[in-house]
Homo-oligomer: A and B are copies of this chain.
Amino acid sequence: MLKSISPFEKIALVGIGLIGSSLARVIRREGLARHVAISTRSQTTLARARELGLGSSYTTDVKEAVRDADLVIVSVPVGSSGEVAAEIAPALKPGAILTDVGSTKASVIAQMQPHVPAGVHFIPGHPLAGTEKSGPDAGFADLFENRWCIFTPLPGTDPAALEKLSEFWRRCGSNIDTMDPQHHDMTLAIVSHLPHIIAYNIVGTADDLQSEAIKYSASGFRDFTRLAASDPTMWRDVCLHNRDAILEMLGRFSEDLASLQRAIRWADGEKLFDLFTRTRAVRRSIIEAGQEIDAPDFGRHAIEHPVKG
């Protein structure tokens, strides 16, 4: 495919944090639009985006950013989706595609859909990509490479618009999946939301103890601190907006933990050994699925000791 053919004339990025700024970078690298309009509420963040040269135009007026855009990508904490949709709705161009990147889908749909004007293609989306960093400096063009982007299209979605958006994300490096919003929210509750909540919790428990958790963190604890360093606003909103699925998964987790705790108390070595053997195989599967690097300790060692290693 020729890079000179821009699938979109104008793309508006609403929100320019980790995801928005990674999109800005890959759009430029792959030539996916002639004009990239960047909008965010914060003057400071907008100024930084301009310094980084992330787009073609910069404004805190989101209506101005989305005017005439063929594709509008909302990359804000999920709790702000409704407010953004209400604000941009009058300025959206008929025929435009409106999408988002939120980690919860049923809630985002409920918040945004009522505001979407007839003639605008609203296609909820979620790229499963990120790091523990946030803000416009944290983004990078490869973020979406070989990561899944999940769409949860509404009934009656125009197949041509869906294909156009899918092609955009493929050119950002993603693999595409579609599913219904409820299935998305339940799946993400187990693969993403529960791990983050557990990480936040264990780091909090250790911090409360004023133990030597920091000094001796290389013995296991530090692995959890990465997820627990994720953006607080984003994750507060995820917890509030995927509550039922998260509570269901927390219930299962606690039930399993009680059973494991009982095995420890009663010295049931066989049960412990069986679980620990089963879980080892799961990591092997993730590496084989191309979703994890096959290097000990996440490859940290290769970075710490590049010469001697």
Contact = CB atoms under 8 A, between A and B. Distances in A.
B200 A273 contact: no
Contact of A226 (B128, B258, B298): B298
A221 to B, nearest CB: 4
Contacts of A240: 264, 267, 269, 272
A95 to B, nearest CB: 32
Interface string A177-221: 000000000011011111111111111111111011111111111
A37 to B, nearest CB: 26
Size range of the chain A interface in the assembly: 35 or more
A149 to B, nearest CB: 11
A275 interface: yes
A100 B246 CA distance: 43
Given A201-B253, A204-B256, A309-B140, A216 B128 contact: yes
Contacts of A220: 191-193, 195-196, 199, 227
A265 to B, nearest CB: 6
B286 A265 contact: no
A145 B209 CA distance: 27
Interface string A285-296: 110010111011
Interface string A273-309: 1011111101111100101110111111111110011
Contacts of A204: 256, 260, 275, 278-279
Nearest to A219: B192
A70 B17 CA distance: 59
B209 A129 contact: no
A44 interface: no
Contacts of A206: 190-191, 194, 282
13 contacts: A128-B218, A132-B296, A191-B220, A192-B220, A199-B220, A205-B249, A213-B282, A217-B286, A222-B292, A223-B224, A228-B282, A233-B273, A247-B261
Contacts of A215: 148, 289, 291
B191 A212 contact: yes
A219 B278 contact: no
Given A277-B232, A286-B214, A300 B291 contact: no
A214 B288 CA distance: 10
A214 B299 contact: no
A216 B188 contact: yes
B187 A305 contact: no
A53 to B, nearest CB: 19
Interface in A216-268: 216-230, 232-233, 235-236, 239-240, 243, 246-247, 249-250, 252-254, 256-258, 260-261, 263-265, 267
A296 B235 contact: no
A184 to B, nearest CB: 10
A5 interface: no
B236 A209 contact: no
Contact of A200 (B246, B275, B295): B275
